[in-house]
Each structure stands twice: as C-alpha cells, then as structure tokens.
Homo-oligomer: A and B are copies of this chain.
Amino acid sequence: MQSFLNPTARQTATRFFYFRGSYFDNQGGFRQNKQEASVLKNKIMERTLVSEAFKKAGEEINLQGFVNNIRHQGSIAFIELRDRSGIMQAVVMKSSEAFDLTKNLSLESVVSLSGKTKEEKQAPGGVEMEVAEIEILSLADPELPIPVLDKGDNESNQTARMNWRYLDLRKPKNNLIFQVWTAMETGFRSYLIKENFIQIHSPKMMSTGSEGGAELFEVKYFKRKAFLAQSPQFYKQMAQSAGLERVFEIGPVFRADPSFTSRHATEFTGFDLEMSFIKDHHDVMNLQAELLANMISEVKKVCGKNVQETFKVELNVPKLPFPKVTIAEAKKMLAEKKIPSETDGDLSPEEERVLGNIIKERDDHDIVFVTDYPISNRPFYHMRDEKNPQLTKSYDLLYKGVEITTGAQREHRYEILLQQAKEKNIDIKDIEHYLNFFKYGCPPHGGFGMGPARVVMKMLNLENIREVTYLYRGVKRLTP
C-alpha cells in the first residue's frame, strides 16, 4: 500500500468503541486497556461517512470507500468517493502531493481520502472535499468484468451481473435492497418477540423429506443418506408438541425445483411460525396481518425516504384487517373478469395477478387472504373444515398479486392425521417420527411459512427474486 498519510492517522472504525450503550451502565464506567488508550492518544482523524460529511462543510475529515468515478480536467483530478452511505466529490489539485497517486487510480479501487470539505454549488449535494492526502487501500484491476457505475445500460444482462454479484451489489440501489431486508426482518422479529414467541433453529438435515418426498436434495451423510429440509414444517410442529406454544424460525429452505421462473430458487430464506391453542386458521391470519403491517412499517421507518427516491415506491403500511375471500369466491370474481381457471382449487400466477387487481380496485388494498382451499390442493396435515370436510382450514396470502404465504390450522389428532396421510398415499414409514409428535398430547395449533424475498420484491415493485437475493441459487447457478 502506498501512502502519504502519517501512519498513525488511519485510526478507523474505532470510534464505535469509545462510548458504551446504556445497557452497560450497571457495570460502571468504560475502562480502556493500554492498547486502546494508545490508539486513542495517537488518533488524528476518524473516518466520516459520506452522509455525515455533507453536514460538515469546512471541516477536516477522512473519507474511506470505493472510487466510483475519476476524471482529470487540466490541473485537477475529480474523484467520486462512494461508501455505504452515499457519494461525495473530492478534488485533488495538481499542486498537492496526492495528485501523483490519482494518475493510476483505477475505478473501484478502495481509498482513504483526508482533507477539508467546503461548500461548492457545482458539486453534487453542494459539498466537496479538497484532498490533502490519499491512501490507496486496495487497487482494483483496471479491467472490470461488469461496470459498477450505473449508466442505465447494464441492467439487462442478469447472468453477467449474477456472475459478478459483488460488483453488482456495489450499486447503491442494490445496497439499499439489503437495508430494506434487514429492516423488514427487524419488524418480523420485534413483533413476535413482543408476542412472546420463542425462536428456534431446527435442523436442515433430516432422515426423510418434510413435504412428502418430491424435490428433495440428497446428502451423503457418513455411511447413509440425509435430505435437506424443504421447510421447517415438521419441526415447528414438534415445538407445539414440546409445549413451546409459540415459535418462529428464520432460516434457509431447500427445493430441488428445476423451474426457472422469476419467483423460484433452489435455496431461499423462509420466515416460519407456529402457535398453539388457536381457535382456527383465522387466528393465524389475524396475527399475520399485524405482523406484516409491522414489517412494512419498520422498513418505512428505517429507509422509506431512500426507497421512495431510489425505487419510486411510496411504502404504505397496509390497513387492518386485510380483505379475505374464499377460493370459491375468488374463482367467481375471476370468472366475471373472463379469466380462465386452470385448476379448480388453486390459483395460477395469472389468476393471482388479476385477483390482486380486483381487490386493489374493490378495497384499495395490496393484500388479500384466500381461504378454504379444497383438500385435493393441500398437504395431508392441513386440518379439514368440520362443516365441509372437502375443504381445509387453510389460506394463502397474496401481496400485490403474488402468493407470499401458505398457512393453515394443522391436524393435531393422531388418528385423523394418520388417516389423512393414508388418503394422500404417503408411505407411513417415512413420516413415523413426525406422526409420533401427536401421540403423547399435542395442543391445537396452526402457522404459516412466508417468503421474505417475495415480500421485498413486491414491496419495491421489482420483477425477480434474484434481484433481492444476496446470492441466488438455481439449477445452473452454484457460484460465486
């Protein structure tokens, strides 16, 4: 690394350690050990994030980040410095010692810039830095495989962008997607913690499949076989038998699904929950409505403004309660719009889309619960309706015309569950461990699985879950 900086000047990221959160206040004041004290003593300048730097015109600061752009104009070099919080223009005068270093500075190199900020009308954001010192922390290969600087011309080549995902993610809008995801997960978790849910981490390697045998990935497990969990379904139900009463799980699910659609992947994150002592599936739906409202509310709070500016989406916290229609009612509404029905008891993607529009028009709502699916379209463990045993106590949730959740009350009575499995031609031996959960007392319960990638995709009006997945996995995609 080349540097004109005093070597002691690069005291970065340490500022986080010189104060303490209030939760430590029962332990007395913060004490520094020798090493920390010496760091503090030699500290000349802390790193400032770009977003903060715009508020500090006239101050000596240090910025660290990527070279978003660089151009030479006569005796001045203009560097656009990009960090996670924004982009700031920095100027290096030919008269400065630092100027030489700008000559071979490639796009996307990582640099530390020190200097004084000043107001400058012509600079984006009205503030720029006059650079006194440059330290090159990492020099980028000048031949970038894909451009990072988004000129609106490289969005179409999704394959190349997935190949070089870490360059693709450097775009501020992609960085923002994961801020959105993080806030959404905060909203999910905080609501459930408030409602006294317990978080579980169930195993992903199982001796049999969790959803009946299809689309399973097989693992060599020492001298035998294991399978990757397609969902935590069995194990979150086990928590009901275990008396944990209310549990949730956030974790990967695996589907050996050969399809290439914009909303499928072979591995993705699932948000799951299960709760005991419910009356029926409407209890689950009512909880999910509040939960989803809290998730969207948290995203709006943390990054609503950025989302509005970047994706041109106004985040609306959905009104409670959410509209509910039975699948039979939905089919009638679709028939009135002359949408052909592909299957009796389920909705095709096109039917979902149109139903979403119908509800938007009727109720001005982005969300609709579709309930009462026939048993033919539901797994064996969904509870049946006492009054109409051809129907299940189940639901899907559509968000802007895309299914993001399947939920249900589960059958918790051993004999009935066994009977329902047999009717679906499931090999009882394969689910023996699961069936045993219900032999020794199990509360009535229900729950759902939700696909967070689909939620983020629809929230931001994007077209493909690959854009909101950190690293997409598909039939032909195992790298990077």
Contacts and interface: CB of A to CB of B under 8 A. Distances in A.
Interface in A308-334: 317, 319-321, 324
B478 A206 contact: yes
Given A66-B441, A178-B244, A478-B206, A413 B138 contact: yes
A473 B204 CA distance: 10
Nearest to A246: B84
A465 interface: no
Contacts of A28: 319
B217 A219 contact: yes
A219 B218 contact: yes
A239 B205 CA distance: 27
Given A10-B279, A198-B179, A244 B169 contact: yes
A202 interface: yes
A275 interface: yes
A30 B320 contact: yes
Nearest to A437: B166
A366 interface: no
A3 interface: no
Contacts of A433: 479-480
Interface stretch (A88-96, A181-189, A348-356, A393-401): A181-189
Nearest to A217: B219
A469 to B, nearest CB: 8
Given A31-B320, A67-B441, A170-B243, A471 B203 contact: yes
A13 to B, nearest CB: 5
Interface string A93-112: 00000000000001011100
Given A67-B441, A470-B200, A478-B221, A205 B267 contact: yes
A43 B441 CA distance: 26
A36 interface: yes
A473 to B, nearest CB: 5
A165 to B, nearest CB: 7
Interface stretch (A69-77, A116-124, A290-298, A419-427): A290-298
A167 interface: yes
Contact of A441 (B139, B219, B235, B239): B139
A83 B203 CA distance: 25
16 contacts: A13-B279, A14-B283, A21-B191, A24-B317, A64-B443, A65-B443, A83-B243, A110-B442, A137-B412, A138-B444, A167-B440, A169-B244, A204-B204, A217-B219, A238-B480, A252-B252
